[in-house]
Protein backbone atom coordinates (compact mmCIF):
# COMPACT_ATOMS: atom_id res chain seq x y z
CA UNK A 1 0.00 0.00 0.00
CA UNK A 2 1.41 3.41 -0.87
CA UNK A 3 1.72 5.95 1.93
CA UNK A 4 -1.23 8.40 1.84
CA UNK A 5 -0.13 11.49 -0.07
CA UNK A 6 -0.84 13.81 2.91
CA UNK A 7 1.92 12.08 4.91
CA UNK A 8 4.76 12.56 2.43
CA UNK A 9 7.48 15.07 3.40
CA UNK A 10 6.59 17.16 0.32
CA UNK A 11 2.92 17.39 1.33
CA UNK A 12 3.79 18.28 4.94
CA UNK A 13 6.08 21.03 3.64
CA UNK A 14 3.44 22.32 1.24
CA UNK A 15 0.86 22.49 4.03
CA UNK A 16 3.21 24.51 6.27
CA UNK A 17 3.61 27.69 4.26
CA UNK A 18 3.17 31.27 5.45
CA UNK A 19 -0.64 31.01 5.30
CA UNK A 20 -0.82 27.95 7.57
CA UNK A 21 -2.43 28.34 11.00
CA UNK A 22 0.57 28.47 13.37
CA UNK A 23 -0.67 30.15 16.52
CA UNK A 24 2.55 29.93 18.57
CA UNK A 25 5.08 30.81 15.88
CA UNK A 26 5.32 34.52 16.63
CA UNK A 27 5.67 33.94 20.35
CA UNK A 28 8.26 31.19 20.08
CA UNK A 29 10.37 33.19 17.63
CA UNK A 30 10.03 36.46 19.49
CA UNK A 31 13.53 36.47 21.05
CA UNK A 32 12.04 38.54 23.86
CA UNK A 33 12.78 39.98 26.29
CA UNK A 34 16.41 39.98 25.12
CA UNK A 35 16.00 41.93 21.85
CA UNK A 36 13.77 44.67 23.21
CA UNK A 37 15.92 45.24 26.29
CA UNK A 38 18.73 46.43 24.04
CA UNK A 39 16.41 48.16 21.53
CA UNK A 40 14.76 50.24 24.24
CA UNK A 41 17.95 50.70 26.23
CA UNK A 42 20.83 51.01 23.73
CA UNK A 43 23.24 51.76 26.58
CA UNK A 44 22.80 48.10 27.60
CA UNK A 45 24.34 46.71 24.40
CA UNK A 46 27.22 44.31 25.12
CA UNK A 47 30.49 45.47 23.54
CA UNK A 48 31.92 42.89 21.17
CA UNK A 49 35.58 43.85 21.55
CA UNK A 50 37.84 45.76 23.92
CA UNK A 51 37.91 48.59 21.35
CA UNK A 52 34.24 49.25 21.99
CA UNK A 53 34.56 49.95 25.72
CA UNK A 54 33.37 53.53 26.13
CA UNK A 55 33.55 55.56 29.32
CA UNK A 56 31.62 58.71 30.14
CA UNK A 57 28.55 58.00 28.00
CA UNK A 58 26.41 56.11 30.48
CA UNK A 59 27.02 52.56 29.25
CA UNK A 60 25.75 49.79 31.52
CA UNK A 61 29.23 48.88 32.75
CA UNK A 62 30.13 52.54 33.44
CA UNK A 63 28.41 52.96 36.77
CA UNK A 64 28.93 53.03 40.50
CA UNK A 65 27.46 51.61 43.69
CA UNK A 66 23.86 52.43 44.68
CA UNK A 67 24.60 54.97 47.41
CA UNK A 68 26.71 57.09 45.03
CA UNK A 69 24.48 56.73 41.97
CA UNK A 70 22.62 59.91 40.92
CA UNK A 71 19.44 57.94 40.20
CA UNK A 72 19.54 55.31 42.93
CA UNK A 73 21.06 57.19 45.87
CA UNK A 74 17.66 58.38 47.16
CA UNK A 75 16.18 54.87 47.18
CA UNK A 76 16.43 52.57 50.14
CA UNK A 77 18.38 49.85 48.31
CA UNK A 78 19.37 46.68 50.19
CA UNK A 79 22.51 46.70 52.30
CA UNK A 80 24.03 43.65 54.00
CA UNK A 81 21.94 42.42 56.93
CA UNK A 82 21.43 39.28 59.00
CA UNK A 83 17.75 40.07 59.60
CA UNK A 84 15.68 37.43 57.81
CA UNK A 85 12.59 39.67 57.76
CA UNK A 86 14.53 42.40 55.97
CA UNK A 87 16.18 39.92 53.58
CA UNK A 88 12.77 38.60 52.53
CA UNK A 89 11.48 42.10 51.84
CA UNK A 90 14.64 43.11 49.95
CA UNK A 91 14.55 40.05 47.70
CA UNK A 92 10.88 40.62 46.89
CA UNK A 93 11.04 44.39 46.47
CA UNK A 94 14.39 44.96 44.75
CA UNK A 95 15.14 41.55 43.29
CA UNK A 96 18.20 40.97 45.47
CA UNK A 97 19.32 40.85 49.07
CA UNK A 98 22.68 40.70 50.82
CA UNK A 99 23.26 38.26 53.67
CA UNK A 100 25.81 39.90 55.94
CA UNK A 101 28.68 37.70 57.21
CA UNK A 102 27.13 34.61 55.63
CA UNK A 103 30.69 33.30 55.59
CA UNK A 104 32.95 33.94 58.57
CA UNK A 105 36.41 35.35 57.96
CA UNK A 106 37.85 31.82 58.32
CA UNK A 107 35.31 30.38 55.91
CA UNK A 108 36.15 33.06 53.33
CA UNK A 109 39.88 32.38 53.71
CA UNK A 110 39.51 28.63 53.39
CA UNK A 111 37.17 28.76 50.40
CA UNK A 112 39.11 31.41 48.55
CA UNK A 113 42.43 29.59 49.05
CA UNK A 114 40.99 26.39 47.54
CA UNK A 115 39.61 28.33 44.53
CA UNK A 116 42.86 30.22 43.94
CA UNK A 117 44.76 26.93 43.90
CA UNK A 118 42.24 25.15 41.68
CA UNK A 119 42.03 28.05 39.21
CA UNK A 120 45.82 28.22 38.89
CA UNK A 121 46.07 24.45 38.53
CA UNK A 122 43.44 24.31 35.78
CA UNK A 123 45.25 27.07 33.86
CA UNK A 124 48.54 25.22 34.32
CA UNK A 125 47.03 21.96 33.10
CA UNK A 126 45.41 23.69 30.12
CA UNK A 127 41.96 22.42 31.09
CA UNK A 128 40.56 25.81 32.14
CA UNK A 129 37.57 27.64 30.65
CA UNK A 130 38.60 31.23 29.98
CA UNK A 131 35.97 33.72 28.88
CA UNK A 132 35.98 37.37 27.94
CA UNK A 133 34.72 38.27 31.41
CA UNK A 134 36.16 35.63 33.71
CA UNK A 135 37.85 32.30 34.24
CA UNK A 136 35.16 29.74 34.96
CA UNK A 137 35.78 26.80 37.29
CA UNK A 138 33.12 24.19 36.50
CA UNK A 139 31.80 21.29 38.60
CA UNK A 140 32.98 22.62 41.94
CA UNK A 141 31.14 19.71 43.52
CA UNK A 142 34.16 17.51 42.74
CA UNK A 143 36.91 19.98 43.57
CA UNK A 144 37.25 19.93 47.32
CA UNK A 145 35.33 18.49 50.24
CA UNK A 146 33.98 21.90 51.25
CA UNK A 147 32.01 22.36 48.02
CA UNK A 148 29.28 19.69 48.35
CA UNK A 149 28.68 21.16 51.80
CA UNK A 150 27.81 24.52 50.23
CA UNK A 151 25.06 22.79 48.26
CA UNK A 152 23.69 21.49 51.58
CA UNK A 153 24.02 24.89 53.29
CA UNK A 154 26.16 23.26 55.96
CA UNK A 155 27.04 25.90 58.60
CA UNK A 156 30.50 24.30 58.81
CA UNK A 157 31.36 25.98 55.48
CA UNK A 158 28.72 28.74 55.31
CA UNK A 159 27.58 29.96 58.72
CA UNK A 160 24.58 31.77 57.23
CA UNK A 161 23.45 28.59 55.45
CA UNK A 162 20.18 28.19 57.37
CA UNK A 163 19.02 31.68 56.35
CA UNK A 164 19.96 31.17 52.69
CA UNK A 165 18.28 27.77 52.61
CA UNK A 166 15.12 29.20 54.13
CA UNK A 167 14.92 31.97 51.53
CA UNK A 168 15.38 29.46 48.70
CA UNK A 169 12.77 27.09 50.11
CA UNK A 170 10.26 29.92 50.50
CA UNK A 171 10.84 31.45 47.07
CA UNK A 172 11.11 28.25 45.01
CA UNK A 173 9.36 25.75 47.33
CA UNK A 174 11.27 22.80 48.75
CA UNK A 175 12.44 20.33 46.13
CA UNK A 176 14.37 22.89 44.06
CA UNK A 177 17.53 21.62 42.35
CA UNK A 178 20.99 22.99 41.74
CA UNK A 179 21.32 24.39 38.21
CA UNK A 180 25.13 24.52 38.38
CA UNK A 181 27.88 25.34 40.85
CA UNK A 182 30.84 27.25 39.47
CA UNK A 183 33.39 29.88 40.37
CA UNK A 184 33.54 33.01 38.28
CA UNK A 185 36.85 34.84 38.50
CA UNK A 186 36.98 38.21 36.81
CA UNK A 187 40.44 39.48 36.05
CA UNK A 188 41.78 43.04 35.67
CA UNK A 189 40.87 44.44 32.28
CA UNK A 190 38.29 41.76 31.44
CA UNK A 191 35.29 42.56 29.24
CA UNK A 192 31.88 43.21 30.79
CA UNK A 193 29.44 40.34 30.51
CA UNK A 194 26.15 40.96 28.72
CA UNK A 195 23.24 41.70 31.05
CA UNK A 196 20.97 38.69 31.36
CA UNK A 197 18.38 36.92 33.50
CA UNK A 198 19.58 33.65 35.05
CA UNK A 199 16.25 32.00 34.29
CA UNK A 200 16.72 32.87 30.60
CA UNK A 201 16.65 29.13 29.82
CA UNK A 202 12.84 29.41 29.74
CA UNK A 203 12.69 32.47 27.44
CA UNK A 204 10.47 33.80 25.94
CA UNK A 205 8.40 32.80 28.94
CA UNK A 206 8.39 35.30 31.78
CA UNK A 207 7.00 34.42 35.17
CA UNK A 208 5.38 37.49 36.76
CA UNK A 209 3.98 35.48 39.68
CA UNK A 210 7.31 34.21 41.03
CA UNK A 211 10.82 33.37 39.85
CA UNK A 212 11.78 29.83 38.79
CA UNK A 213 15.41 30.54 39.77
CA UNK A 214 17.11 32.20 42.69
CA UNK A 215 20.86 32.57 42.34
CA UNK A 216 23.28 32.49 45.26
CA UNK A 217 26.55 34.32 44.85
CA UNK A 218 29.22 33.78 47.48
CA UNK A 219 31.35 36.95 47.55
CA UNK A 220 34.92 36.16 48.58
CA UNK A 221 36.47 39.64 48.57
CA UNK A 222 35.28 43.18 49.00
CA UNK A 223 33.34 44.29 45.93
CA UNK A 224 32.31 47.80 44.90
CA UNK A 225 32.44 50.01 41.81
CA UNK A 226 35.80 48.53 40.83
CA UNK A 227 34.72 44.94 40.58
CA UNK A 228 31.15 44.42 41.81
CA UNK A 229 28.56 42.49 39.85
CA UNK A 230 26.26 44.73 37.76
CA UNK A 231 22.56 44.58 38.57
CA UNK A 232 19.41 46.48 37.60
CA UNK A 233 17.33 46.75 40.80
CA UNK A 234 13.58 46.07 40.27
CA UNK A 235 14.11 44.61 36.78
CA UNK A 236 12.77 41.30 38.19
CA UNK A 237 9.34 42.97 38.24
CA UNK A 238 9.60 45.37 35.31
CA UNK A 239 10.56 42.76 32.70
CA UNK A 240 7.90 40.12 33.54
CA UNK A 241 5.28 42.88 33.88
CA UNK A 242 5.10 43.32 30.09
CA UNK A 243 4.11 39.67 29.68
CA UNK A 244 5.80 36.73 27.99
CA UNK A 245 7.06 37.47 24.50
CA UNK A 246 6.30 41.20 24.65
CA UNK A 247 8.66 44.12 24.27
CA UNK A 248 10.35 45.62 27.31
CA UNK A 249 10.59 49.41 27.49
CA UNK A 250 13.02 51.70 29.23
CA UNK A 251 14.71 50.25 32.31
CA UNK A 252 16.42 52.00 35.23
CA UNK A 253 20.22 52.20 35.39
CA UNK A 254 22.65 49.52 36.54
CA UNK A 255 24.60 49.67 39.78
CA UNK A 256 27.56 47.74 41.09
CA UNK A 257 26.88 45.47 44.05
CA UNK A 258 28.73 46.78 47.09
CA UNK A 259 29.53 44.32 49.85
CA UNK A 260 32.42 43.09 51.98
CA UNK A 261 33.97 39.64 51.61
CA UNK A 262 31.81 37.00 53.26
CA UNK A 263 28.53 38.49 52.06
CA UNK A 264 26.15 36.30 50.09
CA UNK A 265 24.18 37.96 47.32
CA UNK A 266 20.86 36.26 46.61
CA UNK A 267 19.05 37.43 43.51
CA UNK A 268 15.82 36.68 41.73
CA UNK A 269 16.28 34.71 38.48
CA UNK A 270 14.35 37.45 36.62
CA UNK A 271 16.79 40.19 37.70
CA UNK A 272 18.98 41.65 34.96
CA UNK A 273 22.64 41.35 35.93
CA UNK A 274 26.12 40.52 34.65
CA UNK A 275 29.80 40.43 35.58
CA UNK A 276 31.38 43.86 35.28
CA UNK A 277 34.74 45.00 34.01
CA UNK A 278 37.27 44.44 36.76
CA UNK A 279 38.94 47.82 37.24
CA UNK A 280 40.83 46.69 40.31
CA UNK A 281 44.32 45.18 40.48
CA UNK A 282 43.34 41.72 41.70
CA UNK A 283 41.44 38.73 40.43
CA UNK A 284 37.93 38.74 41.91
CA UNK A 285 36.67 35.36 43.15
CA UNK A 286 33.00 34.57 43.59
CA UNK A 287 31.08 31.30 43.52
CA UNK A 288 27.74 31.16 41.74
CA UNK A 289 24.99 28.65 42.39
CA UNK A 290 21.65 29.11 40.65
CA UNK A 291 18.83 27.09 42.20
CA UNK A 292 15.95 26.17 39.90
CA UNK A 293 12.56 24.60 39.86
CA UNK A 294 13.27 20.86 39.39
CA UNK A 295 11.56 20.85 35.97
CA UNK A 296 14.15 23.17 34.44
CA UNK A 297 16.92 21.19 32.75
CA UNK A 298 20.07 21.93 34.72
CA UNK A 299 23.05 23.76 33.29
CA UNK A 300 25.46 21.27 34.79
CA UNK A 301 24.65 17.63 34.04
CA UNK A 302 25.30 16.35 37.55
CA UNK A 303 24.16 12.84 36.62
CA UNK A 304 27.21 12.65 34.37
CA UNK A 305 29.67 15.01 36.04
CA UNK A 306 29.57 14.02 39.68
CA UNK A 307 32.60 12.02 40.77
CA UNK A 308 31.62 8.55 42.10
CA UNK A 309 33.60 9.26 45.29
CA UNK A 310 31.48 12.36 45.89
CA UNK A 311 28.35 10.30 45.29
CA UNK A 312 29.46 7.62 47.74
CA UNK A 313 29.72 10.18 50.52
CA UNK A 314 26.74 12.26 49.47
CA UNK A 315 23.96 12.92 51.94
CA UNK A 316 20.33 12.28 50.88
CA UNK A 317 19.86 16.06 50.82
CA UNK A 318 22.74 16.60 48.41
CA UNK A 319 21.52 13.80 46.12
CA UNK A 320 18.08 15.38 45.93
CA UNK A 321 19.55 18.79 45.16
CA UNK A 322 21.62 17.54 42.25
CA UNK A 323 18.58 15.98 40.63
CA UNK A 324 19.13 12.38 41.70
CA UNK A 325 15.67 11.76 43.16
CA UNK A 326 13.34 10.55 40.43
CA UNK A 327 9.55 10.70 40.39
CA UNK A 328 6.89 9.62 37.93
CA UNK A 329 6.99 13.16 36.56
CA UNK A 330 10.68 13.95 36.48
CA UNK A 331 14.03 12.27 36.07
CA UNK A 332 13.12 8.58 35.99
CA UNK A 333 14.90 5.97 33.86
CA UNK A 334 13.43 2.84 32.28
CA UNK A 335 10.48 3.38 34.63
CA UNK A 336 12.58 3.24 37.77
CA UNK A 337 11.81 6.39 39.75
CA UNK A 338 8.12 6.26 38.78
CA UNK A 339 7.22 5.39 42.34
CA UNK A 340 9.52 7.97 43.88
CA UNK A 341 8.20 10.95 45.79
CA UNK A 342 11.16 13.19 44.90
CA UNK A 343 11.93 13.60 48.57
CA UNK A 344 15.48 13.25 49.89
CA UNK A 345 16.31 9.68 50.87
CA UNK A 346 13.35 7.99 49.18
CA UNK A 347 14.81 4.66 47.94
CA UNK A 348 12.14 4.27 45.24
CA UNK A 349 13.50 7.37 43.49
CA UNK A 350 17.22 6.81 44.04
CA UNK A 351 18.72 7.56 40.65
CA UNK A 352 22.12 7.53 42.36
CA UNK A 353 21.61 3.76 42.81
CA UNK A 354 21.08 3.45 39.07
CA UNK A 355 24.09 5.68 38.39
CA UNK A 356 26.27 3.35 40.51
CA UNK A 357 25.61 0.52 38.01
CA UNK A 358 26.67 2.79 35.16
CA UNK A 359 29.84 3.80 37.00
CA UNK A 360 30.70 0.11 37.51
CA UNK A 361 30.19 -0.49 33.76
CA UNK A 362 27.48 -2.92 34.68
CA UNK A 363 24.21 -1.24 33.69
CA UNK A 364 22.11 -3.63 31.59
CA UNK A 365 19.21 -1.91 29.79
CA UNK A 366 15.89 -3.48 28.91
CA UNK A 367 15.64 -3.69 25.14
CA UNK A 368 13.55 -5.57 22.62
CA UNK A 369 12.06 -8.54 24.42
CA UNK A 370 9.76 -11.38 23.36
CA UNK A 371 7.31 -13.24 25.60
CA UNK A 372 9.32 -16.39 24.99
CA UNK A 373 12.51 -14.75 26.24
CA UNK A 374 10.62 -13.20 29.16
CA UNK A 375 9.52 -16.66 30.31
CA UNK A 376 13.15 -17.76 30.56
CA UNK A 377 14.46 -14.49 31.99
CA UNK A 378 17.02 -14.60 34.80
CA UNK A 379 16.06 -12.56 37.82
CA UNK A 380 18.98 -10.20 37.45
CA UNK A 381 19.20 -10.03 33.69
CA UNK A 382 18.38 -6.34 33.74
CA UNK A 383 19.54 -3.62 36.12
CA UNK A 384 15.91 -2.54 36.32
CA UNK A 385 14.98 -5.86 37.95
CA UNK A 386 17.62 -5.36 40.64
CA UNK A 387 16.50 -1.79 41.30
CA UNK A 388 12.86 -2.86 41.47
CA UNK A 389 13.60 -5.56 44.02
CA UNK A 390 16.01 -3.53 46.12
CA UNK A 391 14.31 -0.14 45.90
CA UNK A 392 10.64 -0.74 45.15
CA UNK A 393 10.22 -3.93 47.14
CA UNK A 394 9.11 -6.11 44.24
CA UNK A 395 9.33 -9.85 44.88
CA UNK A 396 11.13 -12.23 42.51
CA UNK A 397 8.59 -13.68 40.12
CA UNK A 398 5.98 -11.08 41.07
CA UNK A 399 3.46 -10.35 38.31
CA UNK A 400 1.19 -7.34 38.34
CA UNK A 401 -2.48 -7.66 37.43
CA UNK A 402 -4.37 -5.20 35.31
CA UNK A 403 -7.91 -6.45 35.81
FE1 LIG B 1 24.05 35.17 35.58
Specify the CATH number for the domain of residue 240: 2.60.120.620
* Last residue within a domain, chosen from 269, 293, 317: 293
Task: Quickly count: other Cβ atoms within 10 Å of residue 59's Cβ.
Answer: 19
Q: Are 87 and 142 contained in the same domain?
A: yes
CA of 358 to the centre of ligand 1 (A): 32
CA of 188 to the centre of ligand 1 (A): 19
Q: Are 102 and 142 contained in the same domain?
A: yes
Q: Are 276 and 230 in contact (CB under 8 A)?
A: yes
Q: Are 134 and 233 contained in the same domain?
A: yes
* Last residue within a domain, chosen from 260, 293, 326: 293
CA–CA distances in Å: residue 97 to residues 68, 76, 232, 253, 265:
18, 12, 13, 18, 6
* Last residue within a domain, chosen from 244, 268, 293: 293
Q: Are 260 and 177 contained in the same domain?
A: yes
CA of 45 to the centre of ligand 1 (A): 16
In a domain, 13, yes or no: no
**What is the domain extent for residue 382?**
305-392
CA of 371 to the centre of ligand 1 (A): 52
CA of 331 to the centre of ligand 1 (A): 25
Q: Are 272 and 162 contained in the same domain?
A: yes
CA of 275 to the centre of ligand 1 (A): 8
pLDDT at residue 131, rounded to an integer: 85
Q: Are 273 and 331 contained in the same domain?
A: no
Q: Are 241 and 374 contained in the same domain?
A: no
CA of 289 to the centre of ligand 1 (A): 9
In a domain, 30, yes or no: no
Q: Which long-range contacts (CB under 8 A, 24 or more apart) does 307-315 make?
A: 307/141, 307/142, 308/356, 308/359, 310/141, 310/142, 310/148, 311/352, 311/355, 311/356, 311/359, 313/148, 314/148, 314/352, 315/152, 315/344
CA of 369 to the centre of ligand 1 (A): 47
CA of 362 to the centre of ligand 1 (A): 38
pLDDT at residue 272, rounded to an integer: 98
CA of 233 to the centre of ligand 1 (A): 14
Q: Are 378 and 289 contained in the same domain?
A: no
pLDDT at residue 237, rounded to an integer: 98
Q: Are 198 and 318 contained in the same domain?
A: no
Rounded distance, CA 159 to CA 114, Å?
18
In a domain, 20, yes or no: no
CA of 193 to the centre of ligand 1 (A): 9
Q: How many domains in the chain?
A: 2
CA of 197 to the centre of ligand 1 (A): 6
CA of 86 to the centre of ligand 1 (A): 24
CA of 134 to the centre of ligand 1 (A): 12
CA of 198 to the centre of ligand 1 (A): 5
CA of 326 to the centre of ligand 1 (A): 27
Q: Please, what are the averages of pLDDT over each run of 10 residues along the chain (403 residues)? A: 94 96 94 97 95 94 98 98 98 98 98 98 94 93 97 98 98 97 94 96 97 98 95 98 96 98 98 95 96 95 97 96 95 95 96 97 95 94 96 90 85
In a domain, 342, yes or no: yes
CA of 28 to the centre of ligand 1 (A): 22
Strands 264-268 and 213-219, how do they pair? Answer: antiparallel
CA of 287 to the centre of ligand 1 (A): 11
CA of 216 to the centre of ligand 1 (A): 10
In a domain, 338, yes or no: yes
CA of 57 to the centre of ligand 1 (A): 24
pLDDT at residue 259, rounded to an integer: 98
pLDDT at residue 96, rounded to an integer: 98
In a domain, 318, yes or no: yes
In a domain, 159, yes or no: yes
Q: Are 62 and 157 contained in the same domain?
A: yes
CA of 301 to the centre of ligand 1 (A): 18
pLDDT at residue 50, rounded to an integer: 87
Return the CA Rg of the chain: 25
CA of 249 to the centre of ligand 1 (A): 21
Q: Are 254 and 383 contained in the same domain?
A: no
CA of 271 to the centre of ligand 1 (A): 9
CA of 99 to the centre of ligand 1 (A): 18
In a domain, 75, yes or no: yes
Q: Are 148 and 273 contained in the same domain?
A: yes
Amino acid sequence: MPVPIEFTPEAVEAASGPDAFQPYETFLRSRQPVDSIVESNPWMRTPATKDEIVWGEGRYYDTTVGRKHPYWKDFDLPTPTKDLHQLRRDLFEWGFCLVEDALSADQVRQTRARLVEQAAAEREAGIDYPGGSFQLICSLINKGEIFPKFLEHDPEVVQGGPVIERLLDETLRKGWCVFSFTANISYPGCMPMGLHQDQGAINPFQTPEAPVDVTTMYILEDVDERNGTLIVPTSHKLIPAVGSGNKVGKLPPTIHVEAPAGTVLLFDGRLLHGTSINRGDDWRYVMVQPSMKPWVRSQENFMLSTDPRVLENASPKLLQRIGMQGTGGLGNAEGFGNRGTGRAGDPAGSMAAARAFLTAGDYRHVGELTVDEAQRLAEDRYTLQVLQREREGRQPGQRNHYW
